[in-house]
Amino acid sequence: PHVVCQPCFDCKYTDCVVVCPVECFYEGDKMLYIHPDECIDCEACVPECPVEAIFHEDNVPEEWTSYVEMNAEKAPDC
Ligand code: SF4
């Protein structure tokens, strides 16, 4: 699945949400999360993100690897 990382924090855009064909974005207090069981890796959201916060889980920059688990934990609770 794809993962939302730190640049999303306090971002007010939801351009990614509207293009997702399976509606797997969930809105937390401060950022969006992708539900890993629902994302189909279509990549439609990646170029829409104005802050380049979305990565495939295999390509998450090292400093943000904790976001893989964070998306998995938080998305179902939103
Ligand atoms: Fe949705 Fe596709 Fe982005 Fe996954 S990769 S969150 S399915 S738009």
Q: Which two tokens stand for residue 54?
A: 């979305």
pLDDT at 9: 97
pTM of the model: 0.96
pLDDT at 13: 94
pLDDT at 8: 98
Evaluate: CB of 78 within 6 angstroms of ligand 1: no
Give pLDDT tens digits for 22-71: 999 999 999 999 999 999 999 999 999 999 999 999 999 999 999 999 99
pLDDT at 12: 87
Evaluate: CB of 43 within 6 angstroms of ligand 1: yes
CA 46 – ligand 1 centroid, Å: 8
CA 62 – ligand 1 centroid, Å: 21
From the CA of 34, give the closest atom in ligand 1.
Answer: 6
Which helix (H) or strand (E) element contains residue 71? helix 66-74
Which pairs count as long-range contacts for 9-15, CB under 8 Å and 24+ apart, including other chains?
Answer: 11/50, 11/51, 11/53, 13/49, 13/50, 13/51, 15/48, 15/49, 15/50
pLDDT at 16: 98
